[in-house]
Amino acid sequence: MTDGSGQAPGWYYAEGDPPGTQRYWDGAAWQGGPQPVAGAGGAMATGGSAMKADNGDRFVAFLIDAGIFIGLYIVVFILIAVGGAIADFLGAIFALIGALAYLGYWIYNFLYLQGTTGQTIGKKMRGIKLVGRDTNQPIGMLMAFVRGLVSAIFAIPCYLDHWWIFVDENNQRLSDNVLGNKVVPA
């Protein structure tokens, strides 16, 4: 294919590009230079993405996911304060419900959604996803859990894991480099 005319927007192998690469066709013109694709072998490659996600999109996705958690925290805090003012046991019940709500949000958003679709709520809103570096597929719930643990370890010194994207040549978190993951446009 030389000009991609008549093709829907997406990732394609463009004639003249090195084998094993693809570039994005926006419906009118080719965008960007050729991007390497694992296993493409020069054949037409559609669907996945070899490009890296924009740091701004990653940061906003993080803020959205954190904002949901903070909003949940505020609601639970208010319920505990009001319930505790009425009766001590009511405040304790709201605290238990709140702890279960935090755990439920974390399991649903960061393990289930991110593990099975590659997207947390924030990543989905920003159009990015987490995939395995070699497979370009969502990493699964177990690896999403491991990613969270490794991220927590690297976050101890000044939240280093999330700041690492600004110094890494591929804009990847330190934990993603260790685990072989990447965040790409969805």
Tokens of 152: 């927590």
Phi, psi dihedral angles at 27 (to 5 degrees): 105, -15
Q: What is the pLDDT of residues 82-117, one digit of tens each?
A: 998 999 899 999 999 999 999 999 999 999 999 999
The residues, ordered by sequence, that sit 6+ positions from 165 with a Cβ below 8 Å of its Cβ are 55, 58, 171, 172, 173
Is the pTM higher than 0.95? The answer reads: no
Q: Of 130, 144, 140, nearest to 182 (Cα)?
A: 130
C-alpha–C-alpha distance, residues 179 and 133, integer Å: 9
CA distances from 184 to 5, 17, 27, 61 (A): 25, 21, 20, 13
| In contact, 79 and 94? CB cutoff 8 Å | yes
Helix (H) and strand (E) counts for the chain?
A: 7, 5
C-alpha–C-alpha distance, residues 92 and 76, integer Å: 11
Q: What is the pLDDT of residues 29-80, one digit of tens each?
A: 666 666 655 433 333 334 444 477 888 899 999 999 999 999 999 999 999 9
Q: Domain ranges in the chain?
A: 1-45, 55-185
